[in-house]
Amino acid sequence: MSPLEDGIKIILPEPIYDSDTSIEEAILNRRSIRNYTDQPLTLQDVSQLLWSAQGITGTSGFRAAPSAGATYPLETYIVVGDVEGFDEGIYRYKPHQHVLVKVLDGEHRESLADAALNQQFIAEAPLNIVITAIYERTTGRYGERGIRYVHMEAGHAAQNVYLQAAALGLGTTIVGAFDDAEVTEVAELRHEETPLCLLPIGRP
């Protein structure tokens, strides 16, 4: 565990539950976008994106993305480069409190891009979401079949991010080409976590 794991916390603003963009428009406009301006994201942008991926959507604790048996194997991190109100660093999202906990200080986008086979748009995006899995949460109930369920859930979460980004006028793309061990090292993931995908996000 990073020494910052129990330290600096950022309380995110309440998500906004309606917009001028219909779900049909978001689906229509969704594209994989790899080129971003140098304009920073906002704290509200981060709140919306994380809520869409893994946020709590009811008093029962259910989340925005469906999960087999409500086992919730996914963990969500952000690698921050240029977000208003944020220091550079890596943060872990805690859905039940809708807060971020700083895991690492400093600029890590270039290292993340290197771990992702030198895909430089990752270094240029103001924000990167990293979705990881703790498989045992789901395989402990469903056995080997649970691996498939975890991957389905990651796809649901990533598509939610795509659609939320489209509604916010942002661009993203899902990245699966990376070295697992290198991403684990960059983000100082816990030993039980496996990185599944990256989602660089910025203004197109």
CB 38 within 8 A of CB 204: no
Checking if the pLDDT of 6 tops 70, the result is no
What is residue 82's predicted lDDT score, i.e. its pLDDT?
97
pLDDT band at 1 (very low <50, low <70, confident <90, very high): very low
Element (H, E) at 193: none
CB 103 within 8 A of CB 2: yes
* Amino acid letter, 143: G
Q: What number is the average pLDDT over the span 79-87?
A: 96
What is residue 16's predicted lDDT score, i.e. its pLDDT?
96
What is residue 4's predicted lDDT score, i.e. its pLDDT?
46
What is residue 7's predicted lDDT score, i.e. its pLDDT?
64
pLDDT band at 3 (very low <50, low <70, confident <90, very high): very low
Q: Which of 136, 111, 127, 16 is nearest to 78 (CA)?
A: 127
Checking if the pLDDT of 42 tops 60, the result is yes
Strand segments, DSSP code E, in the chain are 9-11, 74-80, 89-94, 99-105, 127-133, 171-172, 194-202
- pTM, to two decimals: 0.95
CA angle 19, 97, 175 (to 5 degrees): 65
15 half-sphere exposure, CB direction, 13 A CA radius: 23
Task: Tell me what the pLDDT averaged over the chain comes to.
Answer: 96
* Amino acid letter, 50: L
What domains appear along the chain, each with residue ranges and CATH number?
9-100+135-202 (3.40.109.10)
What is residue 8's predicted lDDT score, i.e. its pLDDT?
81
Helix (H, G, I), strand (E, B) or coil at 192: coil
